[in-house]
């Protein structure tokens, strides 16, 4: 385990007596070389957690361990951590070269070493010819890359990035995500980045830590979190969920009318026409539905369906036969997640157990 947080709590000194702690008993471990996303809604405590790992803030309770050693009392520079801030915070009056060289200058490395290292990093971020530019002569994406190079200059063993893409528009942001992910894996540095964008976390991270109201909601790889959300919050935060208070009249499922919350994701729902030969043996397990709306999403369609009075959503490939509002379709629900008062469970469609469903 490279980094461990053990029962970390944080209470800012100006907190009122009846205010809960900002961070509440968070424990987690991160392996060497992992790229971890801290994901959660605004105000949840992501930056606070990152700042405590960096040593810019202290926990009120709990221990921070790096390679098994307690680092609570070490200064940021003693922790060998690189930090990329939310707004990149490049030094405006310094050239790209001097920005990247900053940490090495502080360490009083000799000139030749610094020059070498900065050019190595410029080449890594594919900005060899930009060394004499100033930050205001760069695009947002380029500034971001310089911030990344600056954070890596002193060869930290842990890289922390607080919403590294926040100020960048969506197309460049997607390219940068990929770039950063590859770069981090290439350098092999253990990294934690903060985001409140689910897709960004899923696209980039080896593991995701979901933080809400200062508490760890769930930690796991993106697939696990997507497939088995442990809390109601996680299941609605990740993915495009429909939430219902009741669910009845569906073959393969018990009626649920006790006020539990029922989460149904688009990928749990299949809609097909009753003359589709591929689904012929599925008809006995399907419900009758009506298309209430068709929304074009660029790479697919969203179908909104009315099934037994329940509104369900599913995605439909543009390659399949077109459907329009008012069409009737057969609808199968594979699974639902039920968040009850006492327990949460994933219910699978009972009827599908014995069916050869190779299309799932």
Ligand X SMILES: Nc1ncnc2c1ncn2[C@@H]1O[C@H](COP(=O)(O)OP(=O)(O)OP(=O)(O)O)[C@@H](O)[C@H]1O
DSSP 231-288: SHHHHHHSS--EEES-B-S-TTS--B-SS-EEEE-GGGEEEE-TT-GGGGGGGGG-EE
Token pair 């970390």 is found at 8
- 22 binds ligand X per the rule CB under 6 A: yes
> According to the binding rule CB under 6 A, does residue 20 interact with ligand X?
no
Give the one residue of 36, 47, 59, 177 binding ligand X; rule: CB under 6 A: 47
Identify which range of 37-45, 121-129, 240-248, 302-310 contacts ligand X by CB under 6 A: 37-45
Does position 43 interact with ligand X (CB under 6 A)? The reply is: yes
Is residue 196 close enough to count as binding ligand X by CB under 6 A?
yes
DSSP reduced 3-state for 178: helix
**Site track for Mg ion across 20-59, x = CB under 5 A:** ---------------------------x------------
Nearer to ligand X by Cβ, of 85 and 130: the residue is 85
The strand pair at 269-272 and 287-296 is best described as unpaired
**CB of residue 217 to ligand X, shortest distance in Å:** 13
Q: How far apart are CA 74 and CA 84, in angstroms?
A: 20
Taking CB under 6 A as the rule, does residue 340 contact ligand X? Answer: no
Residues contacting Mg ion: total by CB under 5 A: 1
Residue 219 CB, nearest approach to ligand X (Å): 16
Q: Angle CA(214)–CA(218)–CA(221) in degrees, nearest 5?
A: 135
Q: Which of 126, 83, 127, 130 is nearest to 102 (CA)?
A: 83
Q: Which of 8, 21, 28, 46 binds ligand X (CB under 6 A)?
A: 46
Q: Is 212 in the site for ligand X (CB under 6 A)?
A: no
CB of 191 to ligand X, least distance (A): 17
191 binds, among ligand X, Mg ion, none (CB under 5 to 8 A by kind): none
- Asked if 58 is part of the footprint of ligand X (rule: CB under 6 A), the reply reads no
Give the angle subtended at the CA of 199 by the CAs of 198 and 205, to the nearest 5°.
85
User: Which tokens hold the place of 48?
Assistant: 């606070």
Element (H, E) at 218: strand 215-220
Closer to ligand X by Cβ: residue 218 or 349: 218
Interface with ligand X, residue 239, by CB under 6 A: no
Contact 9, 59 (CB under 8 A): yes
List the structure tokens of 218.
């769930």
Nearer to Mg ion, 47 or 235 (CB): 47
Helix, strand or coil, per DSSP, at residue 322:
coil
14 touches ligand X (CB under 6 A): yes
Contact call for residue 144 and Mg ion (CB under 5 A): no
| Least separation in angstroms between CB 283 and Mg ion | 51
Beta-strand relationship, 69-70 and 61-66: antiparallel
44 binds, among Mg ion, ligand X, none (CB under 5 to 8 A by kind): ligand X
- Contact residue for ligand X among 26, 28, 39, 48 (CB under 6 A): 48
Q: How far is the CB of 178 from ligand X (least distance, A)?
A: 23
Distance of closest approach, residue 221 Cβ to ligand X, in angstroms: 22
Return the bridge partners of 314, or none.
Answer: 303
45 sits near ligand X (criterion: CB under 6 A): yes
Q: What's phi and psi for 259, nearest 5 deg?
A: 85, 5
Q: Per the structure block, which two tokens stand in for 294?
A: 């068709």
Residue among 8 and 153 whose Cβ is closer to Mg ion: 8
Q: How far is the CB of 23 from ligand X (least distance, A)?
A: 8
The phi and psi torsions of 279 (rounded to 5 degrees) equal -105, 15
Alpha helices for the chain (secondary structure H): 46-54, 96-106, 111-124, 140-152, 170-187, 198-204, 222-227, 232-237
For ligand X, the closer CB: 147 or 323: 147
Please report, as ranges, the residues that interact with ligand X according to CB under 6 A: 12, 14, 22, 40, 42-48, 196
Please report, as ranges, the residues that interact with Mg ion according to CB under 5 A: 47
């Amino acid at each position: 385990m490279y980094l461990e947080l053990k029962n970390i709590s944080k209470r800012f000194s100006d907190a009122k007596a009846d205010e809960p702690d900002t961070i509440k008993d968070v424990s987690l471990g991160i392996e060497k070389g992992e790229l971890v996303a801290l994901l959660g809604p605004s105000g949840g405590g992501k930056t606070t957690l990152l700042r405590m790992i960096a040593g810019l803030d202290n926990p009120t309770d709990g221990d921070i361990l790096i390679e098994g050693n307690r680092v609570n009392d070490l200064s940021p520079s003693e922790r060998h951590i690189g930090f990329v801030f939310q707004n990149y915070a490049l030094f405006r009056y310094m050239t790209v070269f001097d920005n990247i060289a900053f940490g090495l200058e502080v360490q009083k490395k000799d000139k030749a070493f610094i020059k070498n290292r900065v050019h190595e990093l410029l080449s890594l971020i594919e900005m060899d010819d930009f060394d004499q530019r100033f930050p205001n002569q760069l695009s947002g994406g380029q500034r971001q890359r310089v911030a990344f190079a600056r954070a890596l200059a002193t060869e930290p063993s842990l890289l922390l990035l607080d919403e590294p893409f926040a100020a960048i528009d969506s197309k460049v942001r997607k390219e940068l995500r990929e770039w950063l992910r590859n770069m981090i894996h290439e350098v092999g540095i253990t990294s934690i980045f903060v985001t409140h964008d689910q897709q960004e976390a899923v696209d980039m991270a080896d593991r995701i830590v979901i933080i809400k109201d200062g508490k760890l909601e769930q930690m796991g790889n993106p697939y696990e979190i997507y497939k088995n959300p442990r809390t109601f919050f996680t299941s609605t935060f990740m993915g495009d969920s429909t939430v219902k208070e009741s669910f009845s009249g569906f073959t393969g499922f018990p009626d649920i009318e006790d006020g539990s919350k029922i989460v149904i994701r688009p990928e749990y729902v299949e809609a097909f026409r009753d003359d589709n030969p591929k689904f012929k043996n599925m008809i006995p397990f399907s419900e009758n539905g009506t298309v209430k709306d068709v929304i074009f999403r660029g790479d697919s369609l969203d179908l909104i369906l009315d099934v037994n009075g329940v509104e369900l959503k599913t995605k439909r490939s543009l390659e399949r036969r077109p459907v329009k509002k008012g069409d009737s379709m057969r609808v199968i629900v594979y699974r639902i997640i039920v968040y009850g008062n006492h327990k949460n469970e994933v219910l699978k469609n009972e009827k599908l157990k014995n069916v050869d469903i190779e299309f799932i």
